[in-house]
Amino acid sequence: MAFTMFGRTIRKIGVVGSGNIGPDIALHFSQNLYAYSVPVVVVDILQAALDSGSKKAESKMAKAAEKGIYKKEAADAIFKNMLFTTDYGKIADADFVIEAAFERMDVKHKIFDQCQASCPKTAIFASNSSHMEPEVIFEKIKDKNRCLVIHYFYPAERNILVEVVPGKDTNPALAEYLMKLYEFIGKAPIKVKSRYGYAVDPVFEGLFLATALTVEKGLANIKQADAIAKKTLGMGVGPFTAQNLAGGNPITQHGLSEMNTKIMPWYRSPKILDDQVKLNKPWETAARGEVVEYSPQVYEAVSNRILGAYFGMICEIVGSGITNISNMELALDVGLVMTPPFALMNKIGLKKALELVEAYAKENPGFKVADILIKQASTGQPWKIPVVLREDKGTVALIKIRRPKVLNALNEEVFNQLREIIVGIQKDPKIKGAVLTGFGTRAFVSGADIGMLAAQKTPQEAETFCLKSMAVLNLIENLGKPVVCAMNGLAFGGGNEMAMSCAARIAIKGQKVFVSQPEPRLGIIPGNGGTQRLPRLIGMEKAWPILRNANPISSAQAKELGLIQEEVEGDLIETAIHWVQKIRSGEIRVPPIKKDPIPIPSKLPDVDIGHLSRKIDSLLQRAVLEGAKMTLEEGLKLEARIFGECLLTQDMKIGIENFLKNGAKVNANFIHN
């Protein structure tokens, strides 16, 4: 077998280097491609490194089986799909080779010389470098258009961030292929132009430098500075602790020294890092559970400097043009697990953010105050942080909701950006239709942000809230250009309601848990058209149980019910684009949603609502049955009004509080009032 998708076939993957990260890269590939019988081969010249890497991978899969992440048979199969060997001949037929060896140019050149001599001429060559430009790494490769950097982050099998860094000679189609591939196998890839350190490591290493400088200046000790940095930026661990975990002192020392001339003079290896590298010891950070004490004055002194450095570095990176605001916000959030920078600047105010950066630059020679920050602060407006992205594919606009941490959940900003994009498409004569999708493969849209729902205080507020978001879905429905929803994963609540506003819906095949209207579990009814559009699309009898029992259906069931038009095994987006083109040409005709009243059967199926609120169920039934007697426009207004009535019940409060406290798996104890 082989993995064939997005116009390429991969039969075997090679990973060169069995050190800190190579086995984890290999493990992630095996986890995602073992079902396609794509073997993953790890090559190293040291048998001890191979033995250690193999043992690590085996241990991780054993723990995954113990925790129920994988069934034991699958965990065993994933590990057995990996081969650890000293024989470079075992990757001579690999279609994709990733080098994960030492961060040394001579080592990388030697590895790729061997790969160039033995691997197929069509093989992709990638380096998991953390700093070096692709032009430097691949300078001796004859066919440079198949070469680029894929920068993983620790731990590589779990951290979803990867930087895709093409060189000046990389085939743009290859970079696009790898962006699609990595998204398909569960990563969050961001594309970054070639520059030393790329987009993320100058922040990771720069934050270490900024924190270390506060220690050198006597503002705090190591434990205090580490703890304050962690708190200031909402980090999982502080900068010193992160160096200990990744064993990164020597790499950071070298990286900071190079950034001095390649990015800005402020970057340099601080004396305490040089000394620590000589000692070859970890930093003395706080032990687990240890409380680090510091005064408010110490906190403010250290925190202000860290924020000034953070905002300044981020704006320099975006200002350089190597990536954009949306990518940096995503990368820092999911990759380095810290408070995203542009949202944080918006929160404290751009005037204050600029003051912090200017104060830091005044104290630290060589630190740059980026023009983009000065310009944005002068407008008095916050940064715009795109979470809904538009990319035109010829005459078809691809719209993607990208919020992976919350499975693309809807919030006010998503609706605002979606409205702006749809209006832009409406006015663009070059665009003949659109594809609406979500990021990744787990969810199209997992529903509405619960915090957004919980924020509604009165029935009138809730009704207005529904009508405002409904207006965006109505805009999609009445665009005058076909919008096809490419349902790349589950569509719950508002996700299914958004999909139903599109002209047609297609989905990845074989999704066992696919569509649901789970609102009754929260003590509410659908508020974005679910009670009105679902009966009109699939009929009242079929919609009745789906709306009332809140249970999910599979993609196969959705196809059988007529909710989706096709289950797709191949490239979902390309298939969706073809659907747009065929609808536009008349080759495919998808009946529009009924906008007039629809018939109500004399008898509807009995539905067991189990523990769900009978009070909320009565409101839901009213919305469905009374709405069916109205036009779609009138029915949507009715649904919004009845959604508002949910706020008058005790069960809505119980449902929302239960979800926020216990999550979706714990049933609320409704009192039916």
Asked if residues 299 and 344 have their Cβ atoms less than 8 Å apart, the reply is: no
Residue 29: per-residue pLDDT: 98
Q: Please state the CATH superfamily assignment of the domain spanning residues 388-662 in this structure.
A: 2-enoyl-CoA Hydratase; Chain A, domain 1 (3.90.226.10)
Of 133, 183, 329, 497, which residue is the catalytic one?
497
The DSSP secondary-structure symbol of 380 reads T
What is this structure's pTM? 0.95
Residue 246: per-residue pLDDT: 78
Separation of alpha carbons 507 and 563, rounded Å = 10
Examine the residue annotation and report whether 363 is marked as an active-site residue of this protein. Answer: no
Domain with CATH 3.40.50.720 in the chain: 3-191
Separation of alpha carbons 388 and 437, rounded Å = 10
Q: Which position has the token pair 């809730």?
A: 462
Work out the percent of the chain whose per-residue pLDDT is above 70. Answer: 100
Q: Which position has the token pair 């258009």?
A: 145
**636 has pLDDT over 90:** yes
Residue 454: per-residue pLDDT: 83
DSSP 469-481: HHHHHHHHHTSSS
Q: What is the pLDDT of residues 146-185, one digit of tens each?
A: 999 999 998 999 999 999 999 999 999 999 999 999 999 9
Residue 38: per-residue pLDDT: 98
How open is the CA angle 219-223-228, to the nearest 5 degrees?
A: 65
Residue 465: per-residue pLDDT: 94
**506 has pLDDT over 90:** yes
The fold adopted by the segment(s) 201-379 is N-(1-d-carboxylethyl)-l-norvaline Dehydrogenase; domain 2 (1.10.1040)
Residue 307 half-sphere exposure toward CB, CA atoms < 13 A:
27
Q: Centre a 10 Å sphere on the Cβ of residue 371 and count the other Cβ atoms it contains.
A: 11
Q: What is the pLDDT of residues 1-38, one digit of tens each?
A: 799 999 999 999 999 999 989 999 999 999 999 999 99
**399 has pLDDT over 90:** yes
Q: What is the pLDDT of residues 590-625, one digit of tens each?
A: 999 999 999 999 999 999 999 999 999 999 999 999
**453 has pLDDT over 90:** no
Asked if residues 337 and 154 have their Cβ atoms less than 8 Å apart, the reply is: no
Beta strands 188-191; 388-393: pairing state = unpaired
How much is the mean pLDDT over the chain?
96
DSSP 93-128: T-SEEEE---S-HHHHHHHHHHHHHHS-TT-EEEE-
Of 519, 560, 569, 657, which residue is the catalytic one?
519
Residue 507: per-residue pLDDT: 98
**Hey, is 293 helix, strand or coil?**
coil
User: Quick one: average pLDDT of 310-317?
Assistant: 98
**Hey, is 329 helix, strand or coil?**
helix
Domain with CATH 3.90.226.10 in the chain: 388-662
Q: What is the pLDDT of residues 31-60, one digit of tens each?
A: 999 999 999 999 999 999 999 999 999 999
401 pairs with which residues across the strands?
Answer: 388, 438
Residue 335 half-sphere exposure toward CB, CA atoms < 13 A:
22
Residue 562: per-residue pLDDT: 97
Separation of alpha carbons 420 and 484, rounded Å = 18
Residue 111 half-sphere exposure toward CB, CA atoms < 13 A:
27
Residue 450: per-residue pLDDT: 86
Structure-model confidence comparison of residues 634 and 289, the more confident one: 634
Residue 572: per-residue pLDDT: 97
Separation of alpha carbons 409 and 657, rounded Å = 18
Q: How confident is the model at residue 582 (pLDDT cuts 50, 70, 90)?
A: very high
Work out the percent of the chain whose per-residue pLDDT is above 90. Answer: 96
The fold adopted by the segment(s) 3-191 is Rossmann fold (3.40.50)
Residue 603: per-residue pLDDT: 94
**449 has pLDDT over 90:** no
Examine the residue annotation and report whether 626 is marked as an active-site residue of this protein. Answer: no
**664 has pLDDT over 90:** no
Closest by CA to 281, choosing from 247, 322, 235, 325, is: 247
Residue 247: per-residue pLDDT: 78
The DSSP element (H or E) to which 433 belongs, if any, is strand 433-438
Residue 25: per-residue pLDDT: 98
User: Quick one: average pLDDT of 53-73?
Assistant: 96
User: Quick one: average pLDDT of 457-461?
Assistant: 94
Residue 359: per-residue pLDDT: 98
